[in-house]
Every structure is written in structure tokens, then in C-alpha cells.
């Protein structure tokens, strides 16, 4: 029989002495955001843990037909609670939610169910959302927190974008990571002193710092990473995909979170058009979109003006690329944004694309793997590989498929530069890859 799971509220009193655990996801962005929340009086910690243990924990606590990101997020939280490092009577869990129609909207109930099954039903689960999904009196965003977190998102997007361009070409291993850490420290100190604003100046100093890193000018295959948001960004989810591509001599291209926010805002107009929502909601949405456009343009302008690195594509252009390929009514999961990201990569000359596919995610199979044929028909040079991530997928199998994609990329580059490439006989490694 169906049994209702009680919600435990995170109260104002709990704020004083509770540790709030958050799952890992966007490494650079979270390094900036977590100290902002700590300075506002919340004892935030990012849950860590061994990948295999997290997967095992997820399998034990979540039904095995639930999508892989959900399994990992819940597995990571439960493994942290069971590690003995945190007092379950003084710990809360927090996750972000967009309120879309996919399984992500069930994370909270599944998390509470898992807590009950491991014997910690008293642990509050906080939903971090801007769609009025759930409220907790003990956790509230103040205006300074919001402003700082917004800025941290912008810096995170820029740092991630530039780091990938540098780390793949650095002459001395580790230089880019050092500069990244220095930038994060500097920005964190500014936030601690309540110094915000000054985006332009900070963009400039970030770009200057990275530009000083000695780099080669070797032609390396650029590889775009797209996929379900958790799989795209989380090293736990995608088995450290960016790091792997850099090790293999490729340059990862990963677009920022700003595109996802703009996608969420833009979808409100799609809803109105398709389902006749009230026009009243238009004004704040339009305003929000204009503000985000302005912020994104600020980054793009700074990178272009600096002149050393390649600039990201504006969302205004990205949105036009899906016309004739996918309806903007496809908006479960990452929806049409995922298809748009693949088209945008090709449009900007990045033909090699890794599509990170989580097990159990129907929406993203449709807008990613499901669109591959259509994209390849339009752009025959597109070299798209869909990599499945699930509890039983082996890293070696994923890496072999990535290596095969990189081999194709290199062969195409040689062909394009006029170097003759003899026909290759199928080799044993090829057979292994296809297993």
C-alpha cells in the first residue's frame, strides 16, 4: 500500500549547528558558491566519496530503473551519511531542482525514501529551487547572497571555458590548475570582503592570468561535451571526461550554465505559446532574459576584446540553430537545448561531440541520441559519439569508444589538411571497441 513519506523541515534553529551536505556537480562553480553560503551562516559541505561505493549505495537505496544521475546523487548523500563523518541528528541534505517534468522532480521523495530505508528519517532535505516547489524556513537566499552566487556562476562559466582552452595546450603540466586555484582564491576573498560588482575588471584579470601560461600552438582535436546537465558537468557522473580528453591530447569544449538558465527562462514563452499561459508572466520573464543576455554578453565581449582565447557563442544565436531540426516544445530534461548545443558546436567548427547519456533518461535519449541521425544528415562531417553511463558501464569501454572517436577526428583532420591516409584494416582494438 502507498505510504506517505513525511517531509522534515529545515528550521531557522537548525541553521546554527547543522551541516548541510550538497552533492558534487560543477567543480569550479561550487568552489566559488560554497564559501558564499558559508559566509552567510550555513555550514555547507560538498559530499565526496569513492565512486564505486557511491554507485553501490545508490543501487541499494534507489529503484534500479531510476535514472543514473538520481542514483548517483542519492548514493553519494547516503554514503556520506553512513561514513560516520556526519552526525545524522545534525545534518541536512540539499539539492537543486528546476521543477521540470522529468524524474528530477522526484529526487526529493526518492531521497526521503532512501533516508528512511537507511534509518535516518530525521534528516531534513532542502530543495534549492526558484519555482516554489518547496520552502524551508531555515534556508533563504538574501539579496547579497543571490548577487554573489549569480556572479560566482558567471566567473565559473568563464573559468571553466578558459581552463579547458589552456589545460589542453599547457607546456608545464599543472600550470592551468594553479592559475585556476589562484583565481578562485582571489574571487573568494573579494566575496568575503563583500566586494561584488567589478565583473569587467575581474574578467580581464582572469584572462590575463591564463594568457600568461606557456602553451603550445599544436592543432588538437576540439571535442564538445553535451548531455544531461549532471552528466555533462559532473566528473563523478562522466568519469572525469574533461580530464580524460585532455590526457588524450584533445581540447574539451564545454559551454556554461548560463545557457541552461536562459533555456529555462525562454521555455516560459514556449509554454505560453503552446499551452496558452497568461501574458502577465511575460514581463518578469522578458526582464530576466534581458538581464541574463547582458551578463552573457559581458563575458563574450571581455573574451573577444582580450583577443587571446576563443569566445563562447551567444544564446541568441544558439536558439536560432534548432529551427527545422527540433521543436522548441521538446523541453523535458535538457530538451531542445541539447540539440542546439550540438548544432552550435558544429556551427563553430567543432565537429567532434561526446554526448553523455545517462541510463534511464528518456528525455535526453530523444533530444540527443535521437537527433544524431538528423544532425549527421545535415552535417556529414559531424563526428558524434553517444556514451552511455550506467551503474554497470565499465570505464574502459567508455574510454575505448572515446579513443575511437578521437582516432576518427584525427583522420578527418589529416584528410582536410591534404595528408594521405592509407585505408586501415580492422584491427583487434577496433573489434574490442565494438564489443
Q: What does the binding site for ligand SF4 look like in residue numbers (CB under 6 A)?
A: 67, 69-70, 102-104, 228, 333, 358, 361, 363-364
Residues 6+ apart with CB under 8 A from 85: none
DSSP code at position 66:
S
In the block, cell 526521503 appears at 112
Q: Provide, rounded to whole angstroms, the least separation between the CB of residue 316 and ligand SF4.
A: 25
Separation of first and last alpha carbons in the chain: 43
State the cell numbers at 408.
576518427
- Which regions of 79-163 does DSSP assign to beta strands (E)? 91-96, 125-128
Of the pair 104, 353, the CB lying nearest ligand SF4 is at 104
Q: Provide, rounded to whole angstroms, the least separation between the CB of residue 69 and ligand SF4.
A: 5
Of the pair 103, 215, the CB lying nearest ligand SF4 is at 103
Contact by Cβ (8 Å): 255, 296: no
Q: Provide, rounded to whole angstroms, the least separation between the CB of residue 335 and ligand SF4.
A: 9
CA 42 from centroid of its chain's CA atoms: 24
Of the pair 67, 322, the CB lying nearest ligand SF4 is at 67
Of the pair 35, 335, the CB lying nearest ligand SF4 is at 335
Q: Provide, rounded to whole angstroms, the least separation between the CB of residue 364 and ligand SF4.
A: 5
Q: Provide, rounded to whole angstroms, the least separation between the CB of residue 107 and ligand SF4.
A: 7
Rounded alpha-carbon distances, angstroms, from residue 397 to 156, 298, 335, 377, 429: 31, 41, 27, 27, 11
Of the pair 103, 222, the CB lying nearest ligand SF4 is at 103
Contact by Cβ (8 Å): 398, 387: yes
Of the pair 86, 265, the CB lying nearest ligand SF4 is at 265
State the cell numbers at 267.
521555455
Residues 6+ apart with CB under 8 A from 40: 142, 144, 145
Of the pair 70, 245, the CB lying nearest ligand SF4 is at 70
Q: Provide, rounded to whole angstroms, the least separation between the CB of residue 105 and ligand SF4.
A: 8
- Measured N-to-C along each axis, helices 107-117 and 68-82 cross at an angle, to the nearest 10 degrees, of 40
Q: Provide, rounded to whole angstroms, the least separation between the CB of residue 409 and ligand SF4.
A: 27
State the number of CA atoms in the 13 A half-sphere of 405 facing the CB.
Answer: 26
Amino acid at each position: 500500500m502507498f505510504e506517505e513519506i513525511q517531509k522534515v523541515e529545515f528550521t531557522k534553529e537548525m541553521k546554527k549547528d547543522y551541516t548541510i551536505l550538497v552533492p558534487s556537480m560543477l567543480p569550479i562553480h561550487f568552489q566559488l558558491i560554497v564559501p558564499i553560503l558559508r559566509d552567510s551562516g550555513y555550514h555547507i559541505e560538498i559530499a565526496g566519496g569513492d565512486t564505486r561505493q557511491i554507485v553501490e549505495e545508490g543501487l541499494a537505496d534507489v529503484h534500479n530503473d531510476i535514472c543514473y544521475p538520481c542514483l548517483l546523487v542519492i548514493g553519494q548523500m547516503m554514503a556520506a551519511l553512513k561514513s560516520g563523518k556526519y552526525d545524522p541528528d545534525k545534518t541536512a541534505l540539499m539539492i537543486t531542482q528546476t521543477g521540470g517534468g522529468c524524474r528530477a522532480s522526484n529526487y526529493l521523495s526518492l531521497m526521503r525514501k532512501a533516508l528512511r530505508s537507511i534509518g535516518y528519517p530525521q534528516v531534513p532535505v532542502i530543495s534549492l529551487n526558484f519555482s516554489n516547489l518547496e520552502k524551508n524556513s531555515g534556508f533563504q537566499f538574501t539579496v547579497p547572497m543571490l548577487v554573489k552566487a549569480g556572479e560566482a556562476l558567471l566567473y565559473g562559466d568563464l573559468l571553466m571555458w578558459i581552463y579547458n582552452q589552456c589545460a589542453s595546450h599547457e607546456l608545464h603540466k599543472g600550470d592551468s590548475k594553479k592559475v585556476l586555484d589562484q583565481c578562485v582564491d582571489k574571487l573568494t576573498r573579494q566575496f568575503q570582503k563583500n566586494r561584488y560588482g567589478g565583473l569587467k575588471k575581474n574578467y580581464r584579470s582572469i584572462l590575463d592570468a591564463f594568457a600568461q601560461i606557456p602553451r603550445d600552438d599544436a592543432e588538437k582535436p576540439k571535442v564538445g561535451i553535451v548531455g544531461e546537465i549532471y552528466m555533462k558537468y559532473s566528473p563523478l557522473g562522466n568519469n572525469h571526461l574533461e580530464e580524460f580528453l585532455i590526457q588524450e591530447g584533445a581540447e574539451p569544449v564545454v559551454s556554461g550554465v548560463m545557457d541552461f538558465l536562459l533555456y529555462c527562462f525562454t521555455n516560459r514563452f514556449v509554454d505560453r505559446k503552446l499551452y496558452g499561459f497568461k501574458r502577465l508572466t511575460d514581463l518578469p520573464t522578458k526582464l530576466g532574459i534581458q538581464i541574463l543576455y547582458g551578463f552573457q554578453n559581458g563575458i563574450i565581449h571581455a573574451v573577444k576584446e582580450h583577443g587571446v582565447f576563443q569566445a563562447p557563442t551567444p544564446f541568441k544565436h544558439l536558439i536560432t540553430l534548432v529551427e527545422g531540426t527540433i521543436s522548441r516544445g521538446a523541453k523535458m530534461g535538457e530538451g531542445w537545448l541539447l540539440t542546439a548545443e550540438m548544432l552550435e558546436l558544429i556551427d563553430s567548427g567543432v565537429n567532434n561531440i561526446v554526448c553523455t547519456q545517462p541510463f534511464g533518461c528518456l528525455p535526453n535519449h530523444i533530444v540527443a541520441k535521437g537527433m544524431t541521425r538528423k544532425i549527421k544528415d545535415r552535417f556529414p562531417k559531424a563526428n558524434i559519439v553517444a556514451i552511455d553511463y550506467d551503474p554497470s558501464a565499465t570505464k574502459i569501454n567508455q574510454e575505448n569508444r572515446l579513443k575511437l572517436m578521437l582516432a576518427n577526428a584525427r583522420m578527418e583532420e589529416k584528410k582536410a589538411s591534404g595528408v594521405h591516409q592509407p585505408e586501415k584494416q580492422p584491427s583487434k582494438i577496433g573489434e574490442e571497441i565494438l564489443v
